[in-house]
Structure formats: C-alpha cells, structure tokens
C-alpha cells in the first residue's frame, strides 16, 4: 500500500494506491488548524479499514507537512516535484500546470525547459483570498460561482492583497453593484494576478492543466483563466489529489504506521515559538489601565425625555455603519454600530424610522454623513452635509483633546493617521498597499478560531506568552498562526500576538515612525479596533506614551459628522421625513458612461421612484452633470489633447510605430517630427486601457516594476496587432539637460525598458524592433548616431536628410514646451483672477495617461481648483542646492516646482508616485522637506494598475479642507 499525504495550508488530501497504482481510497477535508489531530485520525482510519496489516509505504508532502515529517522522521517530497511526478504519469503531454491552493499559487512550465513560478511575499489571489471575498459578499463559495455565471460587467479589483482588495469591493457594494458582477470580477482579478504575477514574461500556451481546490470547485474561475489565456484549460479527474498521488507514487520506504501515529500525536506538545512579555502582569495593572482610559468620556443625554432640535451624524465605513444622534450641547442621545452587509441604505432607513417612531418630540435639525458610503447615503436620504473622513475624525478628536496633534484611526479595511499643525490637518498617512493591520485582520482570525471579535480580543489580555508573529500579509499570517498552534501556543497567546501585529503594522508600515516624539505628545486613538484593550495597551507600550481613547472610539467618525452638522445647521434639515421613509424605494442599474475615452462602468442608484439618484464608479462629473467638466484650467487635459494632435502623415518610406508610454509622452513632438520629416508615416499606439494592459500582461517579467512600464508591453503588442513592421522605442540613458540638477539622467526603467521589451516579447517575422541607444541631449552628435542606427534597418536615408529632420525635431520640441509654458501662465493668471486654488499635480510625463492617473486631474478640477504640471513652474527657477544627489531630470523639475511655490499662497503641490519606482522615496522626502520649509501643504498619491479612488478622494478632499482651515 502506497499512502500519499498532502498537508496543505488549509486542507489535508490523502490517497492510497495499490500495487497497480490504482486509487483504493482518497479523502479531502479542511483541517481548521488542527493538523496533527486530523493526520492521526486519517491514518488511524486507513490503518483499520484499508491497510489491515499489509506492508505500507508512506510519503508526506505539502506546505504544512515539512515540519511534521522532519520531526516525526517520515519520508517527505516537495509538493512541486510531487505534482510533476503525478502529471508525468497521468498526463504526459501537459505543457503548463496552474495550481491554486489555500495560500499558494504555482505555475509549472513543463515543455520548452522545466521551470516553476510560485508566489513569494503575498498570498493574494489564492484560495484563502477567494474565501475572504466570499465572506465579504456574505455568500457561500458555490453561490459565488453560480452568481458569476450571470455577470454583465467586470470591475477592476486588486487581488494582490487579500484584505486590501476589500477596499475595492466594499465601495462597489456600498454603491449598489450587483454581487454577480463583483463575483465575476473577483475571479477575473485572481486570473490576471496569477498570470501577471507568476508567468513574468513567459508565455502560457499548449496543453494547460488546472489543479487545486479553487480551480476544481469553481468553474467560473476556470472560465476566467480561459478568457485571460485565450485557451481552454483542462481540469482532470482527481485534480485535488495530484500532490498526494505524486507523493504516493514516490513512496519507496516502508513505514510502520503505529510508530508514525505515536510520533504525530506527540508532535506539538511542547511550546517552541517566539514570544513577548505579557501585556498585563496582573489584574490590578489592568484595572488601573481601565480607570485611566475611562476618564475620556463623551457627555450623554436621555433621548426619552429630550425635546427640541437634534443633530444626526453617520459614518458609513468599509464594513460597518455607525450613527449618533446629538443634543444641543453635543451630548449623545442615541447611537448604532452595525455591520453593513455590503449595503448601508436599509440600515440607515431602519434607524431613521426608529428615531421618528421612538422619539416624536425630537426634531432632526441637521445631518452629516462621512465614510465610504457618504455620497450614496447623502443622495438616498437627502442628508444635509457630506464630510471627508479625516475632517470628521479631527472634529471629534478636538472635542476630547483640544490640543491634539496626532490622530490615528484603525477601521475595518483602512487606517487613517494624520498630524495636526496650526489647527489644520498637515500630513496624512493611509494604508495604500496592504491592510494587514486593520480591524478585519483580527475579525478574520477570530472567525477562523470560532470566536466573536469581542471575546477573542479579551483572551489576549492576560496571555502568558504572546506569540511574536511580526507584521505580514494576512493570508500568510495564517501559516504562522497554525505553526504556533502546532508548537504549543494557546488561543490566548495567539490573540495577544495578533494584536501586537496590528500595532506594529500601523507604526512601522503605515506611519513609519522613528519615535513617539515624531508623532506628537497629544495623541487620540479611535476606530473600532482600538476598543480592543490589547491593541491599545500594545500601542502605548510600543510608543512609550499615554494616549487618549474616547469611550466612543468606534463612533468617532459619526460623532464628528454630528458635531459638523450641529455647527452648520440652519435650523431645518432636508433629511426625508417619516412618510417618505415608509414608502422608500431603492433600485440599482449598471451601465457604461461612454461620454469620454474612460468608458467608466457606472452603478446608478435610483431612490424614491426617481426623485433622487446617485451614480457610482465615475471618474469625473460628466455622468452626474450631463455635461463635460471644464478642462479650461486643466494642464493635463491640454497636454494630452496637444499630443494627440500629432497625427500620421503618409510618407514615401512607409509606417513606423511609436508606443505611447513612459518618456514618449513628452518626446512625441520630437520623434513624430523627426520621422515625419524623413518620410515615415508615424503611427501611435492607442490610449492606454485595461484591455490593452491585459493583452500584454503575459509578457511582463517583473511583478514589481512600475505600472507605466507594464503598460508598455500592451502598447507594443497593439502596434504589432495593427501590422506595423517597424517599431521605434530607443534606449536613452540621458534626457535633455534643463540646467536644474547635478545631471540629467532618465530613470533606469525609462532608460532601458526597451531592452526588457525586446527580450520578453516575441516578434513576428519581418518586424524591426528598433531599440538602439541614442542620446538626444547631444544635439551635435545626434544626427550622426541616428544615421548609423537607421542604416541598419532602412536603405537610402542620407546624413543630410537626418540633419534636416533633426533640426526640425529640436525646433518642434522647443515649440511644444513653449506652448505648455505659455498656456500654463494663462491658466495661472485666470485661476488667480477667479480666486481659485492652484494644484501643482506633479509626477512624470506619462502621468498624463488617463489609465495611469485614473482621472485624478478631473477629480481636482471638480473640487474647484486649477491643475497645472510641475514643468510649467520648473522653468522659472534657477538651479539651487538640495539635500540629495539631484541627477534625474523629472525629479529636478519636482524640486524646482516645490521651491517656486514656497511664497505663492494660492499654490500647493500634489505628487503622483508610481509603485515600483525605486528612487521615489528619496524624491518624496526631499519634495516634502522643501515644501515644509515654506509652510506648504503637501499630499502624495500612489499610482498603480489598481488605485482605489476612495482613498484618492480622501486625500484630495482632506487637502482642500486643510486649505480652507
């Protein structure tokens, strides 16, 4: 008997083979972290019912099986090799294997050179990720699969982080998007994440095999992979058991099951894990802690006896809905704190009806709403005011600590921290790449271990040996928790350890504080997560400072909104009355805008039979206002329009394609003029889109390179698909020397990415991909260099022709910059005449691309400001000393623009930063230093293929609120 055990991160799979390698027994079940117990139970059953005293060969495999096999001296085989053995036996002509497990994802290339690609630092896009999404949607996995068959729209959802993806899904739920569309979008995100993140430039073709639980049980997930790969993969019989089958086939050492069972049962009986000191040494210490924090209390009132005006505050968060009713003196009369189940509308309707019915002597004089569902609820119930989250929380914090200088709020999926300077929010920290330290992080583990969150949090207060888990990806943390359990950690130890991870993630990943003094001495903590005394205790211990936690910590957003409504009340609220609430109707429709190239996917919420509506998913106000938002004071729109005016001109030498990305966004006038003068018809790739990105994603070799670089694969592919036989995309170490820095390098990605494209994209026969090194900064040498380059690909181009074309190209580039500077000056003058704020939206030339900037320029315009770019101002500044090696052209412009606005009261800077750009951190620090020296307000927005617009809006609206202050 050959026994193969696949001990995975969430399940145990087992097969028993006979002498002819036929399956006699197989089992698949979740172990719920009780790994050794399940193994012992399973082997005991096999021993009694299958083996019955026969010779046994046992081999263990799987991500959770190695430690057990080593300790218990059982044969072990690595799971990838086991898979290869099974596939070689059962499907010998397979070319590629895609396997998704509980926490791991693998692609095995079998033909054309064997190679394996596995997920490393992130477990996004795995089975546990899909489980979390199903929990968020509040539906079982089979229902999620069924709904996905009925989808109409695919939304863009991040699948890199199991928790952070909720920040994309939750607003969709709050805006009324269909669960069928969201389900299909989640599967599409998993497929794209796996392909782009693991294939890394190697093409997936031939006979593709799907293995693992998610791909076995979820037919629509397989459909998503088929669609992304443009193939038809095969999910074979027994696809769940291939690792176990491979382990069994590899068995060659006789195993005594009685001895093995004894070893397995003894495993994990002694504690062997890293721990930290207890949070509280005794009950007296905890009582003193509770007494100190009990002093921070909000005044309370009696709603039963209260008469007159009251003020409503609502916080529609990512996972919960909070609401408070305040009296004339800011006392809390009534409140709720509920899970939103993906839709806050029925909860608030029910709450308003209860207020009208229970307290007829109270008149709501004003209401305000904040949070993810702000616009939805404001339109649904005609609420008087909307307020950005940071301002709501700051307003509440001031009520408890007037001299507050730092506020940290940890919610369900987001973490907001902000510094206060001169009575205004001066700096904001938001979790933008990972949410492993937020409330749902603890909620997930509490549910996994069978506790509600309140009871689970209390367990850790007096843990003897809190587990030191660090601060990692939520999904990977599952493995560490399971390992700690196997090593003897109690549930109390794990509860305390997870609270430590929350705090460390906040301080060292989000705030990145070096010391408590850096944050301030007057700190207010809030958010539902800080109701956990363990989290609060660890936060104080880690920073070495006492903080203020209001007794309504979880209601602070709603309380701040209520105070805001009270301060701005006109005496009569617009909130809909009882009779309309009783007949309240809410309908949801999904469509595409089509009013510009963004083609935003819109969710239209209609309330009260058409009396009111809210449109979600739009990047600008066109769907709402039915008219184009004015681009009169939008330099990004002007630049893009100017660049798109360079149209193809028929020429004697045929077509040459330019991929419209990275530095081509600024050098297009130069190259278009140069090649047009030489007699080429210059063809540009289309504007970026999600579809264009997906077309090229399978050739991307690095998951960590910046999104603008990833897009170049799609642009080159688009030109190839158009039949363009000559594509020009040169390597350029240097940019033009503008005299602003110590040197004028291009960023390494911009400079040398043509080499990456050439090495990873297969070119059809006859294609000339011209990616030679050129230097446009050397005006005199350029024609000679280009003559040599073009002579390799084209006949009959003389040096004199190239010199003439080069002269025209340099002139056109100068003219283009002159038009930008002139238009920018006119925009500034008009904005100053109209008393508008001017936002310097700074970054790189490619941030003009709407697919990269996600319409952020239009969001700023909709807030009433003018938008100009950094190069409009950098030309007005002479070179000045900086605290860094100032050698990058685009960065030199940022420093110069920051310097220029120092004495301009109506100008502030927003910096766009691309994930994956290794030099951005230095740049950001120096830009911040230059601005802070001049007392300017600064905010930064990180750009990626998936940028959460809710987070962007928080940043931008907080910036404008600070400017108003």
Longest Cα–Cα distance in the chain: 95
Q: Domain total for the chain?
A: 7
Pair 314, 450 in one domain: no
Cα(549)–Cα(531) distance, integer angstroms: 8
pTM of the predicted structure, to 2 decimals: 0.74
| Dist. CA 88–CA 707, nearest whole Å | 37
CB 98 within 8 A of CB 228: no
Residues 255 and 317 in one domain: no
Q: Within this chain, do residues 723 and 862 fall inside the same structural domain, yes or no? A: no
CB 962 within 8 A of CB 935: no
Shared domain check, 436 and 322: no
281 within domain boundaries: no
If we measure between CA atoms, which residue out of 494, 490, 370, 512 comes closest to residue 441? Answer: 494
Output the CA–CA distances (angstroms, integers) from residue 122 to 107, 160, 165, 357, 703, in the order listed. Answer: 15, 7, 13, 50, 11
Tokens of 163: 């928790």
CATH code of the domain covering residue 572: 3.30.420.40
Tokens encoding 457: 């949090």
For 73, the domain range is 2-91+246-266
Residue 877 Ramachandran class (φ > 0 left, ψ -120 to 50 alpha, else beta): beta
pLDDT at 112: 80
Compute the distance between CA of residue 504 and CA of residue 501 in angstroms, rounded to an integer.
5
Two tokens, residue 323: 């609401």
Pairing assessment for the beta strands 601-607 and 586-592 based on DSSP bridges: antiparallel
* 656 shares a domain with 787: yes
791 Cβ contact partners less than 8 Å away, ≥ 6 residues apart: 797
Q: Does 189 share its domain with 327? A: no
C-alpha distances in angstroms, 438 versus 164, 170, 414, 947? Answer: 10, 15, 6, 19
Is the residue at 641 inside a domain?
yes
Same domain? 794 vs 647: yes
In a shared domain, residues 641 and 780: yes
945 and 827 both lie in a single domain: yes
Instruction: Please check whether residues 411 and 538 belong to one and the same domain.
Output: yes
Last residue of a domain, one of 782, 813, 844: 813
Number of H helices and E strands in the chain, helices first, is 37, 28
Does 382 share its domain with 418? no
Does residue 302 sit within a domain? no
In whole angstroms, what is the distance from residue 104 CA to residue 116 CA? 13
The C-alpha angle with vertex 956 and arms to 950 and 959, in degrees rounded to 5, equals: 140
pLDDT at position 958, please? 80
HEC readout, 435-502: CCCCHHHHHHHHHHCCCCHHHHHHHHHHCCCCECCCCCCHHHHHHHHHHHHHCCCCHHHHHHHHHHHH
Task: Let me know if residue 416 belongs to a domain.
Answer: yes
CATH number at residue 838: 3.40.50.11900
Walking along the chain (965 residues) 10 residues at a time, the average pLDDT comes out as: 86 90 90 79 88 86 80 87 92 93 85 81 71 82 93 79 65 78 91 81 87 92 92 92 92 84 71 75 91 92 93 87 94 90 84 93 95 86 91 92 89 75 76 58 72 83 82 60 70 85 76 68 86 88 88 92 94 90 81 66 76 70 53 92 93 93 92 96 92 87 85 94 93 93 90 92 86 93 94 92 96 95 96 94 92 90 92 93 89 93 91 73 81 80 72 79 76
- Residue 233: CB atoms within 10 A of its CB come to 18
Is 434 a domain residue?
Answer: yes
pLDDT of residue 323: 95
Query: What pLDDT score does 627 carry?
Result: 44
What CA–CA distance (Å, rounded) separates 721 from 583?
55
pLDDT at 628: 46
Closest Cα to residue 637, out of 672, 596, 667, 601?
596
Measured on CA atoms in the order 829, 620, 662, 943, is the torsion positive or negative? positive
pLDDT the model gives residue 70: 79
The Cα–Cα gap between 208 and 96 comes to: 5
DSSP 8-state assignment for residue 846: G
Can you give the pLDDT at residue 335? 95
Q: Could you tell me the CA-to-CA distances from 416 to 123, 169, 375, 390, 425 in Å, in that order?
A: 24, 19, 19, 7, 12
For residues 236, 241, 247, 249, the Cα torsion angle rounded to the nearest 10 degrees is -50
Residue 426 counted as domain residue: yes
Burial label, 759 (beta-carbon count in 10 A; 0-12, 13-18, 19+) = exposed
Q: Which residues pair with 12 in a beta bridge?
A: 7, 29
> 505 and 464: one domain?
yes
Q: Which residues of 858-871 are buried (b: 16+ CB within 10 A; e: fewer)?
A: bbbbbeebbbbbbb
Q: What angle do CA 596, 598, 603 make, to 5 degrees?
A: 100
Q: Please choose, from the candidates 669, 622, 678, the residue with its C-alpha nearest in 3D space to the C-alpha of residue 644.
A: 669
> Does some domain include residue 658?
yes
What backbone phi and psi angles, to 5 degrees, belong to 74?
-105, 145
Sheet holding 523-526, edge to edge: 424-430, 415-421, 406-410, 523-526
Q: What are the residues whose beta carbons fall under 8 Å from the beta carbon of 28, sequence distance 6 or more?
A: 11, 12, 13, 14, 213, 240, 241
8-state DSSP, 699: G
Residues paired with residue 684 on neighbouring β-strands, in sequence order: 658
Q: Is residue 552 part of a domain?
A: no
């Amino acid at each position: 008997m050959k026994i193969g055990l696949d001990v995975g991160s969430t399940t145990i799979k087992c097969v028993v083979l006979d002498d002819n390698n036929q399956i006699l027994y197989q089992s698949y079940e979740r172990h719920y972290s009780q790994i050794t117990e399940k193994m012992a139970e399973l082997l005991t059953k096999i021993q009694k019912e299958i083996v019955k005293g026969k010779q046994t060969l046992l081999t263990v495999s799987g991500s959770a099986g190695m430690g057990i096999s080593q300790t218990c001296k059982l044969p072990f085989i690595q799971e990838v090799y086991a898979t290869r053995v099974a596939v070689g036996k059962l499907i010998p002509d397979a070319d590629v294997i895609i396997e998704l497990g509980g926490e791991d994802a693998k692609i095995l290339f079998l033909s054309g050179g064997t190679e394996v690609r596995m997920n490393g630092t992130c477990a996004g896009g795995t089975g546990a990720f899909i489980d979390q999404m199903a929990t968020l949607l509040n539906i079982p996995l089979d229902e999620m699969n069924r709904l996905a068959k009925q989808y109409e729209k695919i939304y863009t959802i991040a699948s890199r982080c199991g928790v952070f993806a909720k920040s994309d899904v939750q607003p969709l739920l709050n805006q009324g998007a269909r669960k069928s569309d969201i389900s299909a979008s989640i599967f599409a995100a998993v497929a794209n994440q796996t392909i782009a993140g693991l294939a890394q430039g190697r093409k997936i073709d031939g006979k593709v095999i799907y293995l693992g639980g998610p791909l076995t049980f979820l037919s629509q997930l397989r459909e998503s992979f088929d669609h992304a790969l443009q193939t038809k993969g095969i999910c074979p019989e027994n696809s769940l058991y291939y690792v176990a089958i491979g382990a069994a086939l590899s068995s060659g050492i006789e195993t005594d099951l009685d001895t093995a069972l004894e070893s397995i049962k003894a495993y994990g009986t002694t504690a062997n894990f890293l721990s930290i000191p207890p949070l509280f040494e005794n009950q007296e210490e905890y009582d003193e802690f509770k007494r100190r924090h009990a002093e921070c209390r909000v005044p309370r009132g009696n709603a039963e006896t209260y008469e007159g005006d009251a003020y409503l505050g609502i916080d529609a968060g990512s996972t919960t809905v909070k609401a408070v009713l305040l009296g004339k003196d800011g006392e809390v009369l009534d409140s709720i704190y509920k899970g939103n189940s993906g839709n806050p509308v029925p909860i608030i309707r029910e709450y308003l009806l209860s207020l009208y019915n229970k307290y007829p002597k109270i008149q709501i004089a004003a209401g305000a709403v904040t949070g993810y569902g702000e616009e939805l609820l404001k339109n649904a119930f005609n609420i008087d005011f909307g307020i950005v989250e940071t301002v709501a929380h700051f307003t509440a914090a001031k009520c408890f600590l007037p001299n507050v200088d730092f506020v940290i709020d940890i919610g369900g999926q987001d973490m907001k921290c902000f510094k206060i300077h001169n009575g205004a929010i001066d700096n904001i920290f938001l979790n933008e790449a990972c949410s492993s330290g937020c409330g749902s992080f603890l909620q997930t583990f509490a549910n996994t271990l069978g506790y509600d969150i309140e009871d689970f949090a209390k367990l850790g207060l007096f843990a003897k040996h809190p587990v030191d888990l660090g601060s990692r990806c939520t999904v990977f943390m599952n493995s560490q928790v399971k390992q700690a359990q196997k090593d003897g950690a109690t549930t109390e130890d794990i509860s305390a350890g997870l609270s430590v991870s929350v705090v460390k993630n906040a301080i060292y990943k989000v705030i990145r504080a070096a010391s408590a003094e850096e944050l301030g001495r007057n700190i207010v903590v809030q958010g539902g997560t800080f109701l956990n005394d363990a989290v609060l205790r660890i936060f104080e211990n880690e920073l070495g400072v006492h903080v203020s936690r209001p007794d309504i910590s979880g209601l602070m957003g709603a309380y701040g909104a209520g105070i805001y409504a009270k301060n701005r009340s006109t005496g009569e609220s617009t909130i809909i009355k009882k009779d309309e609430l009783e007949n309240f109707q809410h309908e949801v429709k999904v469509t595409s805008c089509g009013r510009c190239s963004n083609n935003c996917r819109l969710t239209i919420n209609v309330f009260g039979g058409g009396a009111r509506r809210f449109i979600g998913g739009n990047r600008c106000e066109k769907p709402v206002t039915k008219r184009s938002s004015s681009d009169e004071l939008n330099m990004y729109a002007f630049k893009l329009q100017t660049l798109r005016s360079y149209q193809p001109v028929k020429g004697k030498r045929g077509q040459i394609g330019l991929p419209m990305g990275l530095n081509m966004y600024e050098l297009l006038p130069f190259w278009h003029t140069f090649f047009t003068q030489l007699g080429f018809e210059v063809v540009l790739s289309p504007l970026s889109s999600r579809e264009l990105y997906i077309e090229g994603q399978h050739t991307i070799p690095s998951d960590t390179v910046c999104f603008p670089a990833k897009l170049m694969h799609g642009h080159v592919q688009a030109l190839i698909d158009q039949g363009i036989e000559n594509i020009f995309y040169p390597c350029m170490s240097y940019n033009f020397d503008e005299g602003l820095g110590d040197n004028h390098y291009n960023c390494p990605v911009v400079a040398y990415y043509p080499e990456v494209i050439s090495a990873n994209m297969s070119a059809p026969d006859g294609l000339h991909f011209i990616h030679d090194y050129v230097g446009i900064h050397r005006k005199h040498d350029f024609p000679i260099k280009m003559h040599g380059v073009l002579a390799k690909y084209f006949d009959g181009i003389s040096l004199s022709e190239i010199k003439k074309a080069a002269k025209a190209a340099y002139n056109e580039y100068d003219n283009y910059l002159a038009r930008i500077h002139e238009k920018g000056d006119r925009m500034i003058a008009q904005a100053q005449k109209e008393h508008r704020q001017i936002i310097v939206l700074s970054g790189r030339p490619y941030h003009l691309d709407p697919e990269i900037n996600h319409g952020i320029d239009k969001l700023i315009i909709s807030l009433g400001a003018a938008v100009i770019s950094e190069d409009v101002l950098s030309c007005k500044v002479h070179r000045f000393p900086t605290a860094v090696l100032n050698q990058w052209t685009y960065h030199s412009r940022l420093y110069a623009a920051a310097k220029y606005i120092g004495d301009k009261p109506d100008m502030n800077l927003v910096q766009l930063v691309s994930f994956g750009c290794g030099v951005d951190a230095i740049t950001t620090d120096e830009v911040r230093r230059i601005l802070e020296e001049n007392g300017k307000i600064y905010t930064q927005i990180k750009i990626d293929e998936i940028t959460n617009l809710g987070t962007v809006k928080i940043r931008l609206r907080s910036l404008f609120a600070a400017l108003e202050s």
